[in-house]
Structure 1
Amino acid sequence: MLERRFFNIVITYTTVWVVRRAAVHTKMNRPKVLVSNPTVPQIGFDLLQKYCDIIRIENENETKEEIISKVKGVDAIYWASRLKLDKDIIEAAGPQMKVVGTMSAGYNHIDVDELKKRGIKLGNTPNVLNNAVADIAVLLALAASRRIHEGRLKIENNQWDLGSQWMLGQDISGATVGIIGLGGIGQAIVKRLIPFEVQQFLYTGHREKVEGKELGAKFVSLDTLVRESDFVIVSCPLNSETEEMCNEDFFAKMKKTAVFVNISRGKVVHQPSLVKALRDGQIFAAGLDVMTPEPLPPDDELLKLPNAVIVPHLGSATKKN
């Protein structure tokens, strides 16, 4: 589709633009670029090949050792790997490397501090995936609050009970929805939930935002948000400040009727604490697009919980994107 082509062109030009600048700086006509995984769409390869000599990792299950063996002397890395781009790989590339482009909005899989130390530019794809990820956040909030997974299990086990008080869920209309991280995705979530007649939106972060006021959302502390929200939706980046932020103390503060949704990164959550909170009825339910590890083992405790709606990191997985 045209939109997908545009997305791929945008992310590739991020790399090409800086690589061409690097070429001028180093007086090279065709810089060398390592592409870390063969799953990058062909249009990305085609565009890069107009300007660069490509060193391509052919194995979809690439190893760090394989990347290090091929990265020496490159001017840029086009990073689309499940691995972390760390100091070892950056050092192996050499001092001539000028840029890293990543096919993602997030960059927690890249050692940004190491890039900064070396003056290496980083290009990512902010805002491109906001709508798709916001859609799945709403889907998970509704599915978890209305016990969709648990209902499916009842069908499979022939445990239907059509009484009027059977399988009652939580309403999102009239609820307080708390958004942790009111960036582009967080704002898109609020816009989608306004028609659901949510009573109040809360958000938290480093500072109050103009966009928050425009959306009618109230800026509060994390503690206030967790205690007062009927739905807690995590859409913040993963970093040293947010890693395992959603821990045992966090879930203990939530309402027992509250629904937890994470479309951020799995490591924002201390997963054993979430499992315990769901299993013990400390919170009502959870909807998760991300978890730790990924892929999640089929015997993981999360998958045994009827009040956990889990999808395999599908937030941006639409044909448009």
Structure 2
Amino acid sequence: MHFSQTICGLFLYAAIRTRPAHTIVRHHCRNINTILQRRFSTSNNMSSAKGSKVYVTRRVPPSGITLLKDAGCDLIEWAQDEAVPKHELLKGVVGVHGIYCLLSDKIDKAVLDAAGPQLKVVSTLSVGYDHVDVEECHRRNIMVGYTPGILTTATAELAVTLLLATSRNVQSAINAVRNGEWGTWKPLWLCGAGLDDSTVGIVGMGRIGSRIAEMLKPFGVSQFLYTSSRGPRETIVPAKHVDFPTLLKESDFVIISCSLTPETKEMFNASAFSQMKKTAILVNISRGTIVNQEDLIEALQNGTIRAAGLDVTTPEPLPLDSPLLKLKNCTVFPHIGSATEKTREMMSELTARNIIAALDSKPMPSQLKK
């Protein structure tokens, strides 16, 4: 006999002793079967992600897409490399339960309104989240996911690459070879600044800043200075916590790895550049708007600082007529800090897992808390 039939029989026996059978048979069997169905449905962990609509704003590494499909999500994809136009984004998100976005997608009140009240989660393929109106999401009880930790090593590698490319005039050297400027060996040609016995200042000694220091230490750096919104902290590589003016004044290399906040926006401006050494090199792998770009251009043109290496700019992409692209003492990368195959696949998977967990009403692996 089936388990549900046995339970139903017990209920019937108890009920018949107190009430006429014709009034209770259908009622109790219907109720007990409903209870059992709910119980077994819960125990089987039926995923609420199944059948949920998720909008994906770009062509992304396939591992994340596979996870979403395996979870039973119905995907609506802007399967192109270029950013989805705002009007297409507003149309695409209508009625969705989750949004899988990138840092170049502005998820603002207009997008949240277009999506509708059933929207449960926004998850971004990035560690930065200034493109998402987090406060508005939280006000609507929409969970927000991001991808911290995964891209730490890749971004630190890129910071070191950019620093070396800028300080050792790598771009000018490559151009010299391609343009036929490579003649006889010249003792003073294309000489740059070395890291040996230098002082490196890191603005923002978080996960990425700490990893950068670890990678630079073997190059013979004599001293690391750092600023941090959290104050002094234990560091893997010996480093000295100083205030911002001291870091600017004493550093040969200044690396920006802090988050973009109202306090850090345009903190590198004409005043900051005037406090740096004329031989100093600036490296930015964080966000473009932490630097006042017009002031930077002037500082590079006037020799206020020696050079700059940028993986982030304002805007992105940088217009071809930007003065930064005409300066020999400025090296610009197209925001490729996390661009290793392994890192991007892991970021895609985490973005998807954040969405699936939220749709299943489970804790997200990486959630921005209120």
Query: Which position in structure 2 is the counterpart of 1:187?
Result: 210
Query: Which position in structure 1 is the counterpart of 2:65?
Result: 45
Q: In 1, distance between residues paired with 2:83 and 2:224?
A: 42
Query: Which position in structure 2 is the counterpart of 1:20?
Result: none
Look up the SS of the partner of 1:122 in the other structure.
strand
TM-score (norm 1): 0.85
**Higher mean C-alpha displacement, 306-315 vs 202-211:** 202-211
1:256 is displaced (CA, Å) by 0.3
Look up the SS of the partner of 1:101 in the other structure.
strand
1:35–1:80 Cα contact (<8 Å) kept: no
1:176–1:198 Cα contact (<8 Å) kept: yes
Q: In 2, distance between residues paired with 1:138 and 1:28?
A: 41
Deviation per CA, 1:6-39: give whole Å up to 9, x if none: xxxxxxxxxxxxxxxxxx9x978532222222x1
Look up the SS of the partner of 1:210 in the other structure.
coil
1:58 is displaced (CA, Å) by 4.3
1:97 is displaced (CA, Å) by 1.6
Q: What letter matches 1:217 in structure 2?
A: A
Where does 1:31-180 land on structure 2 (aligned, <5 Å)?
A: 31-37=52-58, 39-49=59-69, 50-58=71-79, 60-80=82-102, 82-155=104-177, 156=179, 158=181, 160=183, 162-180=185-203
1:168 is displaced (CA, Å) by 2.9
The structure 1 residue matched to 2:276, chosen from 248, 254, 261, is 254
2:49–2:73 Cα contact (<8 Å) kept: no
Deviation per CA, 1:126-176: give whole Å up to 9, x if none: 011111111111111112112222334444262757443333322211111
Tell me the C-alpha RMSD between the 2 structures: 2.3
Look up the SS of the partner of 1:51 in the other structure.
coil
Taking structure 1 as reference, are residues 122 and 69 closer, same or farther at Cα in structure 2, changes over 3 Å only? same
Q: In 2, distance between residues paired with 1:122 and 1:109?
A: 12
Identity across the alignment (%) = 47
Determine if the alignment matches structure 1 residue 223 to structure 2 residue 245: yes
Unaligned runs of 5+ in 2: 1-44, 344-370
Q: In 2, distance between residues paired with 1:211 and 1:120?
A: 35
Determine if the alignment matches structure 1 residue 243 to structure 2 residue 265: yes
1:54 is displaced (CA, Å) by 2.1
Q: In 1, distance between residues paired with 2:230 and 2:308?
A: 27
1:294 is displaced (CA, Å) by 1.3
Determine if the alignment matches structure 1 residue 271 to structure 2 residue 260: no
Unaligned runs of 5+ in 1: 1-23
1:263 is displaced (CA, Å) by 0.7
Q: What letter matches 1:53 in structure 2?
A: D
Q: What letter matches 1:200 in structure 2?
A: Q
Query: Which position in structure 1 is the counterpart of 2:8?
Result: none
Deviation per CA, 1:265-288: give whole Å up to 9, x if none: 111111111111111111111111
Query: Which position in structure 2 is the counterpart of 1:201?
Result: 224
Q: In 2, distance between residues paired with 1:134 and 1:81?
A: 19
Q: In 1, distance between residues paired with 2:79 and 2:189?
A: 53
Deviation per CA, 1:77-98: give whole Å up to 9, x if none: 1113622111110122222222
2:160–2:216 Cα contact (<8 Å) kept: yes
2:248–2:272 Cα contact (<8 Å) kept: yes
Q: In 2, distance between residues paired with 1:276 and 1:149?
A: 21
2:103–2:126 Cα contact (<8 Å) kept: no
Where does 1:289-308 land on structure 2 (aligned, <5 Å)?
A: 289-308=311-330
Look up the SS of the partner of 1:34 in the other structure.
strand
1:153–1:306 Cα contact (<8 Å) kept: no
Q: What letter matches 2:279 in structure 1?
A: T
1:303 is displaced (CA, Å) by 0.9
Q: What letter matches 2:205 in structure 1?
A: L
Look up the SS of the partner of 2:208 in the other structure.
helix
**Higher mean C-alpha displacement, 46-55 vs 82-91:** 46-55
Look up the SS of the partner of 2:341 in the other structure.
coil
**Higher mean C-alpha displacement, 51-60 vs 289-298:** 51-60
Paired residue total: 296
Q: What letter matches 2:68 in structure 1?
A: L
1:278–1:285 Cα contact (<8 Å) kept: yes
Q: What letter matches 2:146 in structure 1?
A: N
Look up the SS of the partner of 2:316 in the other structure.
coil
